[in-house]
Amino acid sequence: MNLQNDLFLKACKKENTERTPVWIMRQAGRYLPEYRKVREKYDFLTMCKTPELAAEVTVQPVDIIGVDAAIIFSDILVIPEAMGMKLEMVESKGPKLYEPVRNIDSINNLKKIDPYKDLKYVLDAVSLTKKELNGRVPLIGFSGSPWTLMTYMVEGGGSKNFSEVKKFIYNQPEAAHRLLGMISDAVAEYLSAKLDSGADALQIFDTWGGILSPHDFEEFSLRYIKEVISKINRKDQPVIVFAKGVHYSIEKLADSGAEVLGLDWTMNLGEVRKQVGDKVALQGNLDPTVLYAGKDKIFEETVRTLNSYGKGPGHVFNLGHGILPDIDPEKVKFLVAAVKEESKKEFLYKEKRQVRNVRYKS
């Protein structure tokens, strides 16, 4: 299917575009009233596991906000669940995985997944969403990185100090590597199946990469990100790696095999661009909390982000992390419109311009 809007894919491949494409992590979510209406009727995992519902909320931000790419509505923890762990989403507390993996015996109890069987509902959601998008914008599939998935599997959910997973890698390194290898195989097969089902690009979220020291990041995370990327069965579909808080390994991440590096809001796009040269495109990286500000400030920071990257191809505009659930959708529409209009200009303004110059649809 030919895409009517392929700006996102072109930017991922560092091809010339008439403007900077924009999408937003967690763009299908609670900040949208339309999403909340669906969520009132169904719990989160039911939405993930019902292709029609997943497709509906995936398409919402394309219609409402005007983003240049859709990302399939799902959750990274569907992989541990498919491997045999019991998953529950606890309201206001987050995910809980029962009987955390803490030793070789619990690793041996995990199953090897077949994504076409065990995660068929996600693949069906990808296929259905692709049909409903009807070529308007590309569709992104995603997974957590092996390290991030293992962190949840060992901790049993979120954590403040990550003591259990740190104990695990330091006291049982062989078991940790065995588990990471199993997860890597599952992630590679899962992402390959998403491409097979119609996804146009992939993103790997290494949410907890930044809790590791530089040495440990290379041993327990980066190594397996590379392994996953090398095993994905793909043609020319780009892969994005978003590793939060990993300032110290930017150049090594650029050699991971990914076409795009997603950056959190604490990094400077221009400086990273100088570091990595032409190896990869860059995605990001507006601080999500800027969207709490007034439109003047949102506009100013949007232009600052565009200027930070500078001229030339290879920039996908995004937030530096997921959008927060209490953000005003009108401000998100404004942000997207500002990116589209300002990045069209022949040169990027370094002085602050007036908000009234941005035209957007309410």
* Residue 98 a catalytic site member: no
Tell whether 152 is in a known binding site. Answer: yes
172: burial class by Cβ within 10 Å (0-12, 13-18, 19+)?
A: middle
Cβ contacts of 289-295, under 8 Å, gap ≥ 24: 289/324, 291/319, 291/323, 291/324, 291/327, 291/328, 291/331, 291/332, 291/335, 292/324, 292/327, 295/331, 295/334, 295/355
* Residue 224 a catalytic site member: no
pTM of the model: 0.94
**Alpha carbon distance 183, 153 (integer Å):** 10
Which listed residue (30, 136, 234, 304) is catalytic?
A: 30
Which listed residue (39, 136, 234, 353) is catalytic?
A: 39
- The β-bridge relationship of strands 139-144 and 70-71 is parallel
As a residue count, the chain comes to: 362
Tell whether 234 is in a known binding site. Answer: no
Tell whether 75 is in a known binding site. Answer: yes
Tell whether 178 is in a known binding site. Answer: no
CA 197-198-202 angle, to 5 degrees, is 100
Name the percent of the chain lying above pLDDT 90: 91
Residue with tokens 């990302």: 71
* Residue 26 a catalytic site member: yes
Q: What ranges do the domains of the chain cover? A: 7-357
Domain 7-357: CATH class, spelled out: alpha beta
Question: pLDDT (tens digit, 0 to 9) for every residue of the chain, 362 residues total?
Answer: 689 999 999 999 999 999 999 999 999 999 999 999 999 999 999 999 999 999 999 999 999 999 999 999 999 999 999 999 999 998 778 899 999 999 999 999 999 999 999 999 999 999 999 999 999 999 999 999 999 999 999 999 988 899 999 999 999 999 999 999 999 999 999 999 999 999 999 999 999 999 999 999 999 999 999 999 999 999 999 999 999 999 999 999 999 999 999 999 999 999 999 999 999 999 999 999 999 999 999 999 999 999 999 999 999 999 999 999 999 999 999 999 999 999 997 444 444 455 555 655 44
Tell whether 245 is in a known binding site. Answer: no
84: alpha, beta or left, given left = phi > 0 and alpha = psi -120 to 50?
Answer: left
Which listed residue (68, 75, 206, 264) is catalytic?
A: 75
Which listed residue (26, 102, 118, 206) is catalytic?
A: 26
Which listed residue (31, 35, 152, 309) is catalytic?
A: 152
> Tokens representing 267?
């990094």
Residues 6+ apart with CB under 8 A from 334: 295, 298, 299, 358, 360
Tens digits of per-residue pLDDT, 49-61?
Answer: 999 999 999 999 9
> Tokens representing 216?
């440990």
Tell whether 190 is in a known binding site. Answer: no
Residue 356 is predicted with a pLDDT of 52
Tell whether 247 is in a known binding site. Answer: no
**Alpha carbon distance 304, 292 (integer Å):** 17
